Amino acid sequence: MHLKQLNKWDGFLLFNFLAKDKQNAEEILEAGKGFVVPGIVSSDFAHPEEGIEHVKALKGVAPVVSIGLGDNGNPANWEKVLHIAAGSDPGHLNQPFERSGYAQGYLKAKGLDQLVNGLVAPAGRVGYIKLANHDMKVEDFVDLAVSMNVESIKFMPLKGLTHLEELVYLCKVAAAKGIPSIEPAGGISADNIVAIVTAVRETGISIFMPHIFGSTIDKVTGRTIPEEVEKIVSSVRG
């Protein structure tokens, strides 16, 4: 199943949490009332084959699984993510923006319909994003993304509310120009999720999927804590 086919809270909102194993995926799906996409990060696996088996296990309970780069969005992991996706049909994967068009074409050639995001960073000023080592106007960047058939933009690190205005601007431009999905990550927690979702609610973006990791993971077991998931999702659902 494609990410765009999932039921979304208020018609636009999903949440991405990491799942340590199949049982953890079941726990967070239940805690998130079904509006959760469980994920893995490629950096947790020494070999792509291990990641493939992990995704297949998670897909036993979840229609879509997200494969992340890991190592704080390390672009060097792009190929490992792509190999895991090619062998597991996850439905969603993360890529550096420069690799996203290639990844989508590669998977499509294998008969796999995936939502591939393209990772960019905040530039520190509204109206711009950081692409590789230079800043680019959001309008020009979104036009480029559309020309590459990239359907989702990963925006990281958000740093909680630090780059919220930049995120909102990106959402508005993306929605106006035909990019359906925006995915922020970095410093998102129960303390700021309501402010973040409220800020983007009226931008017109079709899919908004915050990636929420650090604040919800048990530091000893590495498992995502269902109670934290429930707290975050319930706070947004009111």
- For residue 2, what pLDDT is reported? 75
Cα dist. 51→17, 30, 38, 39 in Å? 16, 23, 14, 11
Task: Report the chain (238 residues): mean pLDDT per 10 consecutive residues.
Answer: 86 97 97 96 96 98 97 95 98 97 95 96 98 94 96 97 98 98 97 97 97 93 96 89
- For residue 215, what pLDDT is reported? 83
> DSSP secondary structure string, the chain?
--GGGS--BTTTB-EEEE-SSHHHHHHHHHHTTT-EEEEEEGGG-SSHHHHHHHHHHHTTT-S-EEEE--TTT-GGGHHHHHHHHHHH--EEEEEEHHHHHHHHHHHHHTT---EEEEEEEE-SSTTEEEETTEEEEHHHHHHHHHHTT--EEEE---TTTTTHHHHHHHHHHHHHHT--EEEEBSS--TTTHHHHHHHHGGG--SEE--B--GGGB-TTT--B-HHHHHHHHHHHH-
Burial of 157 (0-12, 13-18, 19+ CB in 10 A): middle
Give the separation between CA 113 and CA 118, rounded to whole angstroms. 16
- For residue 198, what pLDDT is reported? 97
Give the separation between CA 51 and CA 87, rounded to whole angstroms. 9
Burial of 10 (0-12, 13-18, 19+ CB in 10 A): exposed
Residues 6+ apart with CB under 8 A from 128: 135, 136, 137, 138, 166
Residue type, 145: A
pTM of the model as a whole = 0.96
Tracing tokens 């229609």 back to the chain, one arrives at 63
Q: So what CATH class is 3-237?
A: alpha beta
Q: Can you give the residue ranges of every domain in the chain? A: 3-237
- For residue 5, what pLDDT is reported? 87
Give the separation between CA 206 and CA 174, rounded to whole angstroms. 10
